[in-house]
Every structure is written in structure tokens, then in C-alpha cells.
């Protein structure tokens, strides 16, 4: 059985200049990552609008990467395998998903789909 945690609409970076609300979305995102790790899900699927903007600020990216590193990088085994041609489906310079790269210690894979707010093709 494959255990998938599906979450969406975090809008990381929303109200980034507000002293009270700027961390709200990051706290929610961290809670879902902690929940996924606690429940030992096989992977997390972020179903859109991880970021509030298609070009998030450096501080938004840094906070996001910090949370992902805290919960996703570890020595836990990956319990599933991709069977498609990874060079076609993941056309990056490595030619495979990062959780199968021996240079990374990914224990909780995260897949993300962009939404209308973080669509790399345009600005909302």
C-alpha cells in the first residue's frame, strides 16, 4: 500500500511584509511536513500554490528550503520506485529524480504541481 499525503494552497510568502501574518503559511507548511514524517507517508504531493507568487523572494525560498531539508533529508528508505523513463519525465541535468541520486539523502520525497499563483509561465 502506498501512503500519500496530499496538501495544497500554502501560498508561502503571502503577506511577507506583515509582522504578524508573514509566518502563518510557513507554520502551516511545517506542520504538514512534520505530520508526513510522523505518519511515515511514502511521499508528499503538493497540489498547487505552494508559493503565493510565481517568483518568490529569496527569503521565502530560504524558509521553504529550510523546512524541506528539516523533514525530507534523512536516511529513511524510499519504499517505491518510479518505472517510467526518468530522462523523459524529469528532464534535468541529472536525468533522474533526486531521491534516487546517491548524492542526496532524501527520505521523504515531495512532488509538487504548480497552481495559478505560482505558475512559472505567467504572473497573476
Which residues, listed in sequence order, are joined to residue 112 by a DSSP beta bridge? 46
Q: What is the Cα–Cα distance from 63 to 103, expressed in whole angstroms?
A: 23
Q: Considering only CA atoms, which of 35, 34, 41 is closest in space to residue 3? A: 41
Q: Considering only CA atoms, which of 31, 102, 103 is closest in space to residue 70? A: 31
Residue 117 bears catalytic tag:
yes
Under 8 Å between Cβ of 48 and 115: yes
| Residue 63 neighbours by CB under 8 Å, 6+ apart | 12, 26
Give me the active site residues, please.
117
Amino acid at each position: 500500500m502506498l501512503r500519500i499525503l496530499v496538501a495544497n494552497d500554502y501560498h508561502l510568502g503571502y503577506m511577507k511584509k506583515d509582522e504578524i501574518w508573514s509566518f502563518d503559511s510557513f507554520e502551516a507548511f511545517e506542520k504538514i511536513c512534520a505530520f508526513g514524517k510522523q505518519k511515515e507517508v511514502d511521499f508528499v504531493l503538493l497540489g498547487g500554490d505552494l508559493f503565493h507568487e510565481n517568483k518568490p523572494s529569496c527569503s521565502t525560498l530560504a524558509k521553504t528550503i529550510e523546512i524541506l531539508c528539516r523533514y525530507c533529508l534523512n536516511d529513511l528508505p524510499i519504499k517505491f520506485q518510479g518505472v517510467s523513463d526518468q530522462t523523459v519525465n524529469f528532464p534535468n541535468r541529472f536525468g533522474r529524480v533526486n531521491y534516487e541520486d546517491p548524492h542526496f539523502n532524501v527520505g521523504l520525497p515531495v512532488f509538487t504541481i504548480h497552481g495559478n499563483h505560482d505558475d512559472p509561465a505567467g504572473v497573476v
